[in-house]
């Protein structure tokens, strides 16, 4: 039986060459794919690694790929559309967003089902059983942040109390949502219905935030090697510190280790 390796490391990235890499020893990259491989990435609760391929899906979007051992990648081959965004779900499963703005479920056994239809969703993530998404409450309206739970293959949505329309959603182990608004990381806390800037040091210059068990961010400061990675440190109310690494995309894991 393969024990998935995704949660052996706090952080996974898509490097500047398009390869999927684990981050080891704080800022060293260990690739598990060829270059020009992935455009999206998510690590599930059991450590399965899901990627959106650089190869298009015949039904639209990018093809879905997964690995558990870090050496063998399996392509999802079915009649469902591909994805434009992939998110970690329970056990080995992911959810993903299609070009049409619909959410689908996919697991490593080949099970696939559609969870939403016609909502024109533009951003998703999930954690602790809570789904978060950005979409209009009514057709043609301004997209807003909403959250909900799944029952009987349907998600019951509620509007979150904020006037912001964040992007790049990431949902933590606790079910709270984090995202980017006006190039600044924010937290959206469901139980308190409160919004707050998430950490100091990246206001006005963040392009991505990822938070499962650990929080990382990408700064919008492009170099020839990618964008700089920051880690959230629980000091002075939370501060962002540079890791010393430049990449394309960051994906936090459910690792319980205190160091990569």
Domains of the chain, each with CATH number or no CATH: 6-252 (2.120.10.80)
What is the Rg, in whole angstroms, of the alpha carbon atoms belonging to the chain?
A: 17
Q: Which residues of 70-89 are buried (b: 16+ CB within 10 A; e: fewer)?
A: beebeebeeebbbbbbbbbb
**Model pLDDT, residue 154:** 93
| Average pLDDT of the residues in 6-11 | 97
Q: How confident is the model at residue 1 (pLDDT cuts 50, 70, 90)?
A: confident
Residue 259 predicted with pLDDT over 80: no
Residue 260 predicted with pLDDT over 90: no
Cβ atoms of residues 59 and 80 within 8 Å: yes
| Average pLDDT of the residues in 208-236 | 97
Residue 59 predicted with pLDDT over 80: yes
Tokens of 257: 């280790």
What pTM, to 2 d.p., does this model score? 0.97
SS3 breakdown of the chain: % helix, strand, coil, rounded to 5? 0, 50, 50
Residue 32 predicted with pLDDT over 70: yes
pLDDT in tens, 238-250: 999 999 999 999 9
Residue 190 predicted with pLDDT over 60: yes
pLDDT in tens, 68-125: 999 999 999 999 999 999 999 999 999 999 999 999 999 999 999 999 999 999 999 9
| Alpha carbon distance 222, 202 (integer Å) | 14
Q: Which residues contact 39 (CB under 8 A, 6 or more apart)?
A: 14, 18, 52, 53, 54, 62, 249
Mean of the per-residue pLDDT values for the chain? Answer: 97
pLDDT in tens, 115-155: 999 999 999 999 999 999 999 999 899 999 999 999 998 99
Q: How confident is the model at residue 258 (pLDDT cuts 50, 70, 90)?
A: low
| Average pLDDT of the residues in 3-27 | 96
**Model pLDDT, residue 211:** 98
């Amino acid at each position: 039986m393969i024990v998935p390796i995704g949660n052996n490391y706090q952080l996974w990235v898509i490097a500047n060459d398009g390869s999927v890499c684990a981050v080891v020893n704080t800022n060293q990259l260990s690739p598990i794919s060829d270059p020009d491989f992935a455009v999206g990435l998510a690590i599930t609760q059991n450590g399965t690694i899901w990627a959106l391929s650089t190869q298009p899906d015949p039904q639209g979007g990018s093809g879905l790929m997964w690995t558990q051992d870090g050496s063998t990648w399996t392509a999802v081959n079915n009649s469902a559309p591909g994805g434009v965004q992939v998110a970690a779900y329970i056990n080995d499963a992911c959810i993903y967003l299609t070009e049409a703005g619909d959410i689908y479920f996919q697991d490593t056994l080949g099970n696939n089902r559609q969870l939403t239809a016609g909502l024109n969703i533009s951003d998703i993530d999930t954690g602790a059983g809570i789904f978060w998404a950005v979409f209009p409450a009514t057709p043609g309206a301004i997209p807003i942040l909403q959250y909900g739970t799944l029952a009987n293959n349907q998600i019951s949505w509620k509007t979150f109390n904020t006037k912001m329309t964040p992007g790049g959603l990431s949902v933590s182990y606790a079910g709270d949502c984090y995202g980017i608004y006006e190039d600044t990381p924010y937290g959206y806390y469901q139980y308190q219905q409160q919004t707050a800037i998430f950490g100091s040091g990246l206001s006005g210059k963040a392009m991505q935030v990822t938070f499962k068990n650990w929080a990382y961010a990408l700064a919008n400061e492009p170099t020839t090697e990618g964008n700089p990675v920051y880690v959230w440190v629980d000091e002075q109310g939370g501060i962002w510190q540079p890791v010393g690494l430049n990449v394309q995309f960051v994906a936090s894991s459910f690792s319980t280790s205190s160091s990569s």
